[in-house]
Amino acid sequence: SPGVSAEASDDKKTSKQVVVGFAQIGAESEWRTANSKSIKDACEGAGFKLQFSDAQQKQENQISAIRSFIAQKVDYIALAPIVETGWDTILKEIEDSKIPLILVDRSIKTADGSDKYWITRVGEDFYKEGKQLAQWVKDNQEKLGFKDKATVNVYQLEGTVGSGAAVDRGSAWADTMKDTKFKTIKSQTGNFTRAKGQEVMESWLKSDKGNIDLVFAHNDDMALGAISAMEAAGLKPGIDIKIVSIDGVKGAFEAMIAGKLNAVQECSPLTGPVLVQTIQDLEAGKEVPKLKYAEEKLFPMEEAKAALSSRQY
Ligand code: AHR
């Protein structure tokens, strides 16, 4: 434009602050709180401006947050999709806006099967998590006291219905336990929260006490809620009823150290630095992979004490 040299406008371009709109799911778990913190800290560290929206576990709130990010013309939209389906309309709106979309944490299934709507997903391998945990249970039957049992009755606390995390963890467990003595007797959602996990466990204990060998909780918070319910019913969690879960939050490590939780499969919430690096790479015109998974380990209760001091969440 008149009076502005090319150089000056270039300078302006490189010094422009990157604005990221992040549609987070909510604050349903210790994991989620750690994930929000990781993303906030990383964006602040990189000098990005973060528009953070907490959808309180509602897809419609995430969709309105995205519409407002489009109206504000943010530079990037990041979305942690609460469930896998129902995004088709908003994905087309994002595509029309030409704002790059990055999926964080959970996955999406589009009606047309296409993954063209997002540049990349910075997430976790939920199937692998469920599989590693089920395999550990199978491999540790003696330690868990299941060796001489003809059937092991499993009660499954599912995550949010239709979420990638619940779908993949559930099917990984079912696939791994297929044709074994581990039988899922009941499976109910606890929506990834401590309160709901406790409520469901209370109702199972009312109807099925004495019949429950193992609880598989899709996340630590529901396991911690179930542990409270078992204690209130006069049972020793980890001993009378074995229990395993996924995430690896501090509360779960403390429960393992106390002998109340038998094993935890890690799911890393520390995706902030990876998200920031991805945006910096895109800003620099570099190619980014379509999918990036975090490294995730399994911790049996005996290893919890030594690992606690190095836990970051
Ligand atoms: O999507 C990741 C899952 O969501 C975590 O396992 C759970 O704790 C969270 O709420």
Using the mean position of ligand 1's atoms as its centre, give its distance from the Cα of residue 131 in Å: 16
* Token pair of 207 as six digits: 């109807």
Q: What number does the ligand 1 atom closest to the CA of 28 have?
A: 10
CB 150 within 8 A of CB 180: no
Residue 313 pLDDT: 96
Q: At what angle do helices 30-46 and 220-232 cross, to 10 degrees?
A: 150
Model confidence pTM above 0.90? yes
Mutate which of 29, 84, 216 to test ligand 1's pocket (most atoms within 8 Å of Cβ)? 29
Q: Which residues of the chain fall short of a pLDDT of 70? A: 1-15
Ligand 1 first shell, C-beta below 6 A: 28-29, 31-32, 105-106, 165, 192, 219, 221, 246-247, 267
**Cβ of 51: how many Cβ atoms within 10 Å?**
17
CA nearest ligand 1 atom 6, residue:
219
Residue at 197: amino acid letter: G
Residue 11 pLDDT: 44
Tell me the C-alpha distance between 161 and 265, whole Å: 20
The total number of residues written for the chain in this structure: 313
DSSP assignment string, 152-208:
EEEEEEE-STT-HHHHHHHHHHHHHHTTSSEEEEEEEE-TT-HHHHHHHHHHHHHHH
Using the mean position of ligand 1's atoms as its centre, give its distance from the Cα of residue 219 in Å: 6
**Tens digits of per-residue pLDDT, 75-130?**
999 999 999 999 999 999 999 999 999 999 999 999 999 999 999 999 999 999 99
